[in-house]
Chains A and B, each alone.
Chain A
Amino acid sequence: MKRASERGGDRAPDARRALDELFSATYEELRRLAYSVKRSDPSVTLNPTALVNEAWLKLARSPSFASTSRLHFKRIAARAMRQVLVEAARRRHAAKRGGDEDVVFVTFAEGLDQAVSSGQEMLALEEALQELERLEPRQALLVESRFFGGLDVSETARALDISEATVHRDWRAARAWLVHRLRRAER
């Protein structure tokens, strides 16, 4: 008279853990690509969209990404790219802090973009984006996808499961709010 005893729980693959792994892999690949591109030719203009495509070409072959669609990957890459840039900005910021005491403020309104500290710009944007995440998470996702991941309107609509009209509207509102906030922070 054998009674089978209960043994373990549900073993469905854990989405959370898988996602973290994907993210880590994407992050590291983007970073590696970005630095290697720059090292071979410092003057080349980095195109994040191209980086994302290149990263996808490599990672798509790996078994961990077997069930990831290209669109989903672009979403992850957008987040990863943002992370890469934030880290780089912090590094520059830290390095600068040691010596140069002049804090260069970003002045968007004047369109001075060549001489400004890109690191400061990125960090300010990151802070604003985090606040937007707190208030309107979907808009933050939208900005992240379009801005860092280079998703176009149709891709963004599909990734976030909203209409293209909503993408246009929300993008406009989010952009306006972010820029407004960035300017306000500088004053």
Chain B
Amino acid sequence: MRQLSRIAYLFTLLFASASLLLAQQSDYAIKRNFDTTYKSIFNRVEAANSIGALDSMKSEMDSLELRNLPHADFLDKALYPDTFVDRIRSLRTLHSLTYEKVYLIQTQGLKVEELETKIIYLTGKLDTLTTQRDRLLVELQEAKKTNTQYREIIRRLQANLQAKDRLIFALVDSIFLPYGKDSAQISDLHREAIGRKLEKANVLTRVEEIAGENAAFLSVTQLQPKDYGSVIDQYQQFSNRWKGLREKITAAVLAGSKYGTGAISGPSGKAKPGAPAPPPETPGARVDSLLLLWESRLQTMIWDGITKEFTTKGITVDPFHDGPSFASSIRNYMNTLKASGQDASTFVNDVWKARIDKEWREALVKPGVLGSAEYAALDREVSQLTRPAIDVKFIVYSVIVILLALAVWWFFIRKPKNVAPAAKKP
């Protein structure tokens, strides 16, 4: 379409040029026409706010240049101190710069608009999830629930919390995205803008709320050993995302109005008269402390749960509260068993294999708990504890091989000893 319009334009131009050649032209008219057209295009290019408009102005510039090319010498004098080439060049430069500017505004504008919509959507979704979570917590606290119902509520609550974790960081990403990834390159003006957006979307409070909800979730629920794997993943993902964004969020929030003044208002938003000024709080410090609480609760629940596995089987091990103390405790217990010559089958089969390896392995192999390498080493050591000196399977296989060899020899290789000699012929 654009190609066609250009062709039509060129034809018009040629026709106009031919007409001009036929008619006598006043120099004054040539200059005035050039000036008028030049100023008109210049002003319109300067004020242009769409790529389409700029494209059509490009054709007008081409036409202006082509139409006035035969008068270039005259225009050089008439436009002094400018020249015809200078004017055309300045017009093209302005067009090029404006084009770039408009393009950026259009594309970035679209992106920003898109992200603004996303922020609104995510904020709404988070609110919906909070309402859903409140309802689930109420359901959870009702005593008359069957085990299946209870498990279902836990599952839904956990899914709800995971969704909120994802959404809050998607929200943060959406706010930061238009300004680039490198926080060091964000200008103060942009940082303030981000700070205002973070404040408007209530991001920091939401992050605090979600971290708090996750910590609270652990204290109101009784998880099964196999649930811990996903709960640990959830904590680690949240923690890593927070660590990655903490600095950027803090800087942006500080640049924003809330913390930029240096005074932190209380929860009511008003400082109490006569009360001493509260100590300056770093934005995000509450999230840090809630993350610590979350992790601490998670660790306590895991190690308490594992301790119970031993105590219910009557096995007394040294108390443990983290990965290294657990490994040390198990190794001490195994050394005690070896030294005393006690039967290790209960420990190995009933506790380690039936419970720890089967139920807790998924949680224990996580890096923040025990780690896969340490778990594998412990598992190997525990397995060796009950291994007999001579492997029964080895003896059985050996006997089978010997019997097979004997059978082959008996039926195929052995020569019969008492064969009657053939009767001599007379």
Q: Do A and B come from one complex?
A: no
- Chain A positions within 8 Å of B, measured between CB atoms, are none
Residues of B whose CB lies within 8 Å of any CB of A are: none
